[in-house]
């Protein structure tokens, strides 16, 4: 099968969606399929060989974070050329409601289209704005995927229709690595790991910083290993920590290999996110590494942790409850190990070997739907009102964020 995958977010600053797209493409290739990925990226950005860079993107505040998006005439031209050259059996668009390459691809697509929705929000202004622009184009989507029940609910509430829930995937065995002595703890000096953008408030670093003094009061030797970029977030956390700042070790951005080693070495992984999470891939990675997990009780996290049987949950945003939950995990090694064993079994449901088969089943569904409706050609009424530069008709104007 020839599969074209479109990622809306730039590989210049990769995050969860980009990693998901990269790993899905790798898993599909390993299964014998021909795969090409189109994503924003500067020409000098190092990207996997499966990725075709679509040019520069600009940072835009989106869903409580900063996303790098590409839109406009030049981006549309790249999308058209890539689709025309690819002659894909299935076009797989990630976050097609985001104003970037996936939205452009949906506007011009004329064959079987699968869309994956990652976002989880109670109220999304972006989706409310985009819906009228894409109402007709949404009819071209042959099958929908949501990465979690939370993302599915967001889709239903904002766009109507439904989706098949297929979780994010992880190469579980990649996290079965030896621990590193520098990151290992002892009963008197345990290590607690955190990974995430330090300057995104929803990642919860400030909640962890607020919980640290109580943890240190009872277990003074605790070391907090913090991996992630964001100088502003680090400065704010250090100011809040005051005399306790020396207990935090700032590791900066880490490679995939170092991330796996860090998770395999730490006594606990803490996920203090405060919202905007549709899945919780780092929890799955920590579970794969055999690390005890403490996470805020967001709906997505609760489901990933099998309602608390594969890790401990605390009240979202409550630093006191976070501290109490971490201390309970450290004081009850038998209970923590029991949850780790449950996690080791449960996490297999998120392995790419399982997830890829479910994605392929959706592709087959899209192909069958397209065949049932005819040759899948785009009706002219779906093209009505689209600007000439988008459809490749007439002169193109300068503009857009990708100049």
Residues 337 and 359 in one domain: no
Residue from 309, 16, 38 nearest 148 by CA? 16
CATH number, domain with residue 305: 3.40.50.2000
Mean pLDDT of 230-246: 94
Residues 231 and 316 in one domain: yes
Does residue 262 lie in a domain region? yes
Residues 333 and 377 in one domain: no
Does residue 397 lie in a domain region? no
| HSE of 294, CA atoms in CB hemisphere, 13 A | 31
Number of domains the chain is built from: 2
DSSP H helices in 33-174: 73-86, 101-108, 125-134, 149-159
Residues 14 and 79 in one domain: yes
Does residue 399 lie in a domain region? no
Residues 107 and 226 in one domain: no
pLDDT on residue 234: 95
Residues 70 and 203 in one domain: no
What mean pLDDT, rounded, does the chain reach?
89
Report the alpha-carbon distance of residue 107 to residue 332 in Å, rounded.
55
pLDDT on residue 393: 40
Does residue 401 lie in a domain region? no
The answer to whether residues 53 and 41 touch, using CB atoms and an 8 Å cutoff, is yes
Residues 32 and 123 in one domain: yes
- Work out the percent of the chain whose per-residue pLDDT is above 90: 72
- What digits encode the pLDDT tens for the residues 104-133? 999 999 899 999 999 886 555 555 556 666
The answer to whether residues 228 and 253 touch, using CB atoms and an 8 Å cutoff, is yes
Report the alpha-carbon distance of residue 398 to residue 37 in Å, rounded.
26
Residues 190 and 159 in one domain: no
pLDDT on residue 382: 40
Residue from 367, 351, 386 nearest 171 by CA? 351
Does residue 400 lie in a domain region? no
Residues 265 and 206 in one domain: yes
pLDDT on residue 137: 75
pLDDT on residue 67: 80
Residues 147 and 163 in one domain: yes
Q: Give the predicted TM-score (pTM) of the model.
A: 0.83
Mean pLDDT of 259-284: 95
pLDDT on residue 236: 95
Q: Listing from the earlier edge strand, what are the strands of the sheet with 113-117?
A: 51-53, 34-39, 2-6, 90-94, 113-117, 141-146, 164-165
Residues 147 and 35 in one domain: yes
Show the domain range for 380: 2-169+351-391
- What digits encode the pLDDT tens for the residues 57-86? 888 876 556 788 998 999 999 999 999 999
Does residue 107 lie in a domain region? yes
- What digits encode the pLDDT tens for the residues 345-400? 999 999 999 999 999 999 999 999 888 766 444 444 444 444 444 444 443 333 33
Residues 238 and 337 in one domain: yes
- Work out the percent of the chain whose per-residue pLDDT is above 70: 88
Predicted confidence (pLDDT) at residue 274 exceeds the cutoff of 90: yes
pLDDT on residue 125: 58
Pick the more confident residue, 43 or 63: 43
Tokens of 64: 């409580």
Does residue 398 lie in a domain region? no
Residue showing tokens 């192909």: 367
Strongest mean pLDDT among 7-11, 14-18, 273-277: 7-11
Final residue of a structural domain among 315, 331, 349: 349
The phi, psi pair for 4, rounded to 5°, reads -105, 125
Does residue 403 lie in a domain region? no
Residue from 287, 151, 140, 262 nearest 196 by CA? 262
Instruction: Return the DSSP state at 49.
Output: T
Burial class from Cβ neighbours inside 10 Å (0-12, 13-18, 19+) for residue 379 reads exposed
pLDDT on residue 380: 43
For the chain, give the longest Cα–Cα distance. 71
């Amino acid at each position: 099968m020839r599969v074209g995958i479109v990622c809306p977010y730039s590989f210049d600053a990769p995050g969860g969606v980009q990693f998901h797209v990269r790993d899905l493409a790798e898993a599909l290739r390993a299964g014998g399929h021909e795969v090409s990925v189109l994503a924003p990226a500067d020409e000098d950005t190092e990207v996997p060989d499966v990725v075709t860079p679509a040019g520069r993107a600009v940072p835009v505040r989106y869903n409580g974070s900063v996303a790098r998006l590409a839109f406009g005439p030049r981006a549309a031209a790249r999308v058209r050329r890539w689709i025309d050259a690819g002659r894909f059996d299935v076009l797989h668009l990630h976050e097609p409601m985001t104003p970037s390459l996936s939205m452009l691809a949906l506007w011009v697509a004329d064959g079987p289209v699968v869309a994956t929705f990652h976002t989880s929000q109670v109220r999304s202004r972006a989706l409310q704005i985009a819906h009228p622009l894409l109402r007709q184009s949404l009819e071209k989507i042959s099958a929908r995927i949501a990465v979690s029940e939370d993302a599915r609910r967001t889709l239903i509430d904002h766009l109507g229709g439904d989706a098949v829930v297929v979780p994010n995937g992880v190469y579980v065995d990649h996290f079965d690595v030896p621990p590193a002595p520098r990151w290992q703890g002892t009963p008197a000096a345990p290590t607690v790991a955190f990974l995430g953008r330090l300057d995104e408030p929803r990642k919860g670093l400030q909640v962890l910083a607020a919980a640290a003094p109580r943890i240190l009061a009872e277990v003074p030797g605790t070391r907090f290993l913090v991996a992630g970029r964001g100088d502003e977030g680090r400065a704010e956390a250090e100011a809040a920590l005051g005399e306790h700042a020396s207990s935090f070790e700032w590791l900066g951005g880490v490679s995939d290999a170092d991330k796996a080693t860090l998770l395999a070495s730490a006594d606990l992984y803490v996920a203090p996110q405060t919202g905007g999470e549709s899945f919780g891939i780092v929890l799955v990675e920590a579970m794969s590494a055999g690390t005890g997990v403490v996470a805020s009780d967001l709906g997505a996290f609760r489901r990933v942790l099998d309602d608390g049987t594969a890790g401990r949950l605390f009240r979202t945003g409550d630093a006191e409850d976070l501290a109490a939950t971490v201390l309970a995990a450290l004081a009850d090694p038998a209970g923590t190990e029991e949850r780790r064993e449950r996690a080791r079994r449960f996490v297999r449901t998120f392995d790419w070997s399982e997830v890829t088969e479910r994605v392929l089943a959706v592709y087959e569904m899209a192909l069958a739907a397209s065949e049932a409706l005819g040759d899948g050609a785009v009706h002219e009424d779906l093209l009505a009102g689209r600007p000439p530069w988008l459809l490749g008709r007439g002169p193109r104007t300068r503009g857009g964020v990708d100049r």
